[in-house]
Amino acid sequence: MSTTIPVQTPAEPAAPAHAVPAHRSTAPARTIRPIPMTRLAKVELRKMFDTRAGFWLMASVGIVAVLATAAVILWAPDSAIDQETFSSAIGFPLSVILPIIGLLSVTSEYSQRTGLTTYTLVPWRGRVITAKILVTLAIGVASMFLALAVGAVGNLVGSAITGLDPVWNVSVGEFAQIVLANVLGMLIGFTLGVLMRSSAAAIVGYFIYSLVLPAALGALAAFQEWFRDLQPWVDINFATTRLFEDTMTAENWQQLGVTTLVWLWIPLALGLRAVLRAEVK
């Protein structure tokens, strides 16, 4: 009968408490920096030109300015060849195009189903929306300066054709009010975009806002005397139109502030809250 004696191997020495596991890197952790706002703005600007529809919509700003200038030169009487006439002719179609650009900058993320990719690459939705707003405002201001330049060229050409001296009857203050009016229009389009998040619905909503609503409120003011004095305080189109005239008084600025608060700033705040909280599919 044999007896087996177990042999015990010496235990491995315990690792000191401060030792670092072999699989864990000793390199210092890298801080992840957010994407710069300038890069986000460049991306959002490029998005507006990426599609064929977006490219021609942006190009229509220059095309419309040239066509309106040519129409004034061809058909306007000699007495109407001045900078104000050219600015008015160019500004009217731009007041329709620019808000559509503003709303499409938001709704394209949902209509083209790129929102999920955008908000995955940049999880901070607020920074993306901020970049969209900055690009929208920049396009609006740049479009106004482009329209001013095209109108100035048209004024020089028209004056040379008619043999009259060019008339520069648009002051810096008037031009600033025109820029403000068009920027507010773009923000209205942007607001409709963040509220509806659908290109078709936002465009329909914009035409109701710009065509149906002013006509309805104008008819109400024409037939109801009690509403006549109230209209400037509740009709944003009525209050904004005065920016195209050099007759803004202190009361007119107050009316503009009240109407934009009701029709622009409060809806914009609600729409931004919805965009930041809504699920993107």
User: pLDDT value at position 139?
Assistant: 92
Q: What is the mean pLDDT for each group of 10 consecutive residues in the chain (281 residues)?
A: 50 50 54 80 87 84 91 88 88 88 88 79 86 92 92 91 86 89 92 91 92 91 89 91 84 94 94 84 69
Structure tokens, 133: 């707003």
Q: Rounded distance, CA 143 to CA 106, Å? A: 19
User: pLDDT value at position 8?
Assistant: 52
Q: Rounded distance, CA 83 to CA 152, Å? A: 6
Whether the predicted model's global pTM rises above the 0.85 cut: no
Structure tokens, 269: 């705040």
Determine contact, residues 231/221, Cβ cutoff 8 Å: yes
Phi, psi (deg, nearest 5) at residue 132: -65, -40
User: pLDDT value at position 187?
Assistant: 93
Identify residue 65 by its one-letter amino acid code: A
- Residues across the chain: 281
Measuring CA to CA, which residue among 129, 121, 63 is closest to residue 102? 129
